[in-house]
Structure 1
Amino acid sequence: MTLPRWALPLAAVALLLVLALLSLTMGSTPVAWHEALAALARPGGADGSMAQAIVRDLRLPRVLLALLVGATLAMVGSLLQTVTRNDLADPFLFGLSSGASAGAVAVLAWAGDSLGAWTLPLATFAGAMVAAAAVLLLVRRAVGQGPAQTVLAGLSVSFLFGALTHALVFAGDQRAAHAVVFWSMGGLGLARWENLWLALAGLLVVAAFVALRHRALDALLAGDDTAHSVGVAPERLRVQVFLVAAVAAACCVALTGVIGFVGLMVPHVARRFVGPLHAAFVPCAALLGATLLLGSDLLARTVLGAQELPVGIVTAGLGAVFVMLWLRRIAVR
């Protein structure tokens, strides 16, 4: 029996609402569901209750950050898989995570919080953008500018910044090593009302690009020659996608650290249900990515009781299982 194309998005919306309510009520301090809903319904939140403070000030920003980052990473992964024609492409294949990690380690182990609460997000954003610029520079100087050159440039920059990160950790303040390790595994602990705008900006950048260029991306699915025949310049489009991906991923990494595999897994599931055309495929991937990261964060916060597990560990475990099943599926073919 074949399910209609709208069945998966509808199920994802229902699951998303359930996970959001569970995320507001579950944690080291349980909150009854009716108290959580009452905290959301009261305007201004002036009654000062502990439940209201937990829901409105701590858990609701975290839920929103999970939704924004999960959707953004899934959309970025969808675009990168299209332009590189690589089924394993995701936002962190191209050195973005390594550059962000180098910026974060430089702050945590050397600079401290000289810029206040924004020191770490600014450093990670700057590191990701430097890595993106390095990849683009390598691609521009390479012979040809196809998807293979982009992937190789990304891998080389990733290895370079990875080595720099390890050197900074080794030579820096060893007391910061735990913070460095926790940040590199990814987490949503920095979620605050005042910094959600950065994650929203990343989402809006990639969403606006898809809205404007989805037909050009569809043309690229048929190959570079076909894209040329309909007036699309593949090389220019790849550079545009990479710039958008770099900015959007940097906005996410600046707040959450390195959360891998969301952008790798989700596009495959979305493409299977709604097809490869980007007007439907990318929004579906965004919805599934938000659901996946919200569910992963809920699991990370509750599986060890009062101790929080970095959400990147959960997504990495799911990603490993996904890749194994994907490889098995290819082998059966």
Structure 2
Amino acid sequence: MTAVPAAPASRGLAAGRLRAARGPLLLIGLLLALVAALLVSAGTGQLAVPPAEVLGSVLHRLGLDAGPLPSHPQGDATLWSVRFPRVAMAALAGAALATAGAVMQGVFGNPLAEPGVVGVSSGAAVAAGAVIVFDATALGSWTVAAAAFAGGLVTTLLVYLLSRDGGRTEVVTLVLTGIALNAMTSAGLSFLLFLGDQQAREEIVFWTLGSLNGTRWSAVAIVAPLAVVGVAAAVALARPLDLLSLGDRAARHVGVDVERLRLVAIVVVALLTAAAVSFCGIIAFVGLVVPHLVRMVAGPGHRLLIPASALGGALLLVCADLWARTAVQNADLPIGLLTSLVGGPFFFWLIRRSRRTAGGWA
């Protein structure tokens, strides 16, 4: 007796149930991998500290006398003054960039959107670079972050306005708009390099390459609230973004204010991008690679996609920072260089895949 193939609707329902079952396992797996990466990364360097001693140091600071303390006399001080701020910043920046990418892809309705690709990160860096060159201190230690937020917001609004055609966002228009904005911001950064003194030039070069070297707790204290608020806001937008994926008309039919949703999402993307760029410089492709990989495993639902992207982005950047510190002996490679090295080929593959599946550039 010949078996009757399952109907497409039944296959889709079964796939949805399988992805729903994978959701909690994916989040738990990413969380455990992130904790392991944080322990290994914090203990790796010229002064090596075993992961068990790293964990023991953390538990000791929490008031729990469990686990061994670092055996080296300077081990504990090195962890808390140098290593932990750096790995914390890597996790925060990675989570912020990946979440921004997931939100931007949901708003624009295609997997090619990413803050770095469309010029948002470089726009935020130009604004921060202007603050550096002109030595503005209007908001104290928050001045650079506020300038990065403004720069990211302006460039995001430009992308939103220029890439829309007849109520929809074209992939080609999005990419070309990003190329144009990146060219303009590159010119702006070059002009700032011309205007600035030697110290300002070094700081602007820091923006263009991306680095976590020299991160301190004071910087983490500024980035953390921005990143946490941005990720929380993105999670709150998960259901409206799911409805928006059905199309503007369908989303309006079920009560979604589409234009308001897009504007709020734009502010969230700018906030998250500013949180990452303000102290780390331009780190490209994290917001492109991570959400797409998570979507391939867990499906397009933003309730799972956004928190999983945040964890995946944190994991990716912690591992990339570990690679940057250990790839070349006695050298600290720019982390933005490494993410671009991986993300560039991935972006090319994604463009080819999108063109092939869509049957063209439409």
Give the TM-score category using the shorter length: 0.7 to 0.9
Superposition RMSD in Å: 3.3
List per-residue Cα deviations over 1:168-227 (Å, max 9, x = no partner): 212332564344223321122253222323322222223332343322111111111111
Q: Please report how far the alpha carbon of residue 265 of structure 1 lies from its aligned counterpart in structure 2 after TM superposition.
A: 0.5
- The 8 Å contact of residues 74 and 263 in structure 1, kept in 2 or not, is answered as yes
CA deviation string 1:114-153 (max 9, x = no partner): 68993xx623541441452365378569886653599476
With structure 2 as the length reference, what TM-score do the two structures score?
0.79
SS in structure 2 of the partner of residue 189 of structure 1: coil
**Between Structure 1 and Structure 2, whose CA radius of gyration is higher?**
2
With normalisation by structure 1, the TM-score equals: 0.85
- 8 Å contact kept, 2:230–2:272: yes
Which aligned pairs between 1:100-115 and structure 2 lie closer than 5 A? Answer: 100-108=124-132, 110-111=133-134
Same amino acid, percent of matched pairs: 33
| Alignment of structure 1 residues 136-155 onto 2, 5 Å | 136=157, 146-148=168-170, 151=174
Correspondence list, 1:173-184, <5 A? 173-174=197-198, 176-184=200-208
Equivalent pair of 1:131/1:157 in contact (CA under 8 Å): no
Distance in 2 between residues matched to 1:63 and 1:136, nearest whole Å: 31
Structure 1 unpaired stretches of 5+: none
* 2:30 matched residue in structure 1: 12
> Is the CA contact 1:95–1:128 (under 8 Å) kept in the aligned structure 2?
no
SS in 2 for 1:40: helix
Look up the match of 1:22. 40
Residue 42 of structure 1 aligns to a residue whose secondary structure is helix
Q: Which moves more between the two structures, 59-68 or 217-226?
A: 59-68
| Residue ranges of structure 2 left out of the alignment (5+ in a row) | 1-17, 64-68, 358-362
Structure 1, residues 276-304: CA drift from partner, whole Å, max 9, x if none? Answer: 11111111111111110110000001111
> In 2, Cα distance between the equivalents of 1:80 and 1:65?
22
Shift of 1:63: 1.5
Give the superposition deviation at 1:263: 0.3
Q: How many residues matched?
A: 329
Q: Structure 1 residues 172 and 255 mapped into 2: Cα distance closer, same or farther (>3 Å)?
A: closer
Paired residue type of 1:147 = T
Match of 1:126 in 2: 147
Q: Who is 1:285 aligned against? A: 309
What amino acid sits opposite 2:98 in the alignment?
A
1:53 aligns with 2:77: yes
**SS of residue paired to 2:194:** helix
**Matching of residue 304 in structure 1 with residue 328 in structure 2:** yes
Contact 2:82–2:214 (CA<8 Å) still a contact in 1? Answer: no
| 1:221-251 Cα deviation digits (max 9, x unpaired) | 1111111111112222111101111112112
Q: Is the 8 A contact 1:103 1:124 kept in 2?
A: no
CA contact (8 A) 1:262 1:289 kept: yes
* Paired amino acid for 1:161: T
For residue 59 of structure 2, what is the aligned residue in structure 1?
Answer: 41
Q: Aligned AA for 2:42?
A: L
SS at match of 1:75: helix
The one-letter code matched in structure 1 to 2:125 is: S
Distance 1:71 1:135, change over 3 A: closer
Do 2:289 and 2:343's aligned partners in 1 also have CA atoms closer than 8 Å? yes
- Quick check: 1:90–1:263 contact (8 Å CA) kept in 2? yes
Aligned to 2:223: 199
Question: Would you say the 8 A contact 1:210–1:278 is kept in 2?
Answer: no
Structure 1 residues 236 and 322 mapped into 2: Cα distance closer, same or farther (>3 Å)? same
Q: State the secondary structure of the residue aligned to 1:5.
A: helix
